[in-house]
């Protein structure tokens, strides 16, 4: 299981959903006690982008990994 804590802007969120949609595994975004499907544009755009988000997934996609590592706040 891979887990990242990320910070996105509103504009970055659209690209995040697009890249997540290209993955053939589930990707979850945790915010407070809410779990959002990362492939849901409405769910992701409804998040508070001033707060860090936790992203979890159990698959392998190099393009998605490279993208998400740019927004990782735990580096």
User: pLDDT tens digit string along 2-32?
Assistant: 999 999 999 999 999 999 999 999 999 998 8
First to last CA, the chain: 18
pLDDT digits (tens, 9 = 90+) for 24-33: 999 999 988 8
Report how far Cα 1 is from the mean position of its chain's Cα atoms.
14
Would you list the domain boundaries of the chain? 2-69
Predicted TM-score of the model (pTM)? 0.89
Contact 69, 13 (CB under 8 A): no
Fold classified for 2-69: 3.30.1340
């Amino acid at each position: 299981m891979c887990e990242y804590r990320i910070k996105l802007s509103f504009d970055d969120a659209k690209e995040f959903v697009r890249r997540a949609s290209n993955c053939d595994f589930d990707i979850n975004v945790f915010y407070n006690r809410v779990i959002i499907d990362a492939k849901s544009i409405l769910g992701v755009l409804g998040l508070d982008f001033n707060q860090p988000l936790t992203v979890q997934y159990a698959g392998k996609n190099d393009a998605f990994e490279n993208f998400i590592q740019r927004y990782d706040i735990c580096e």
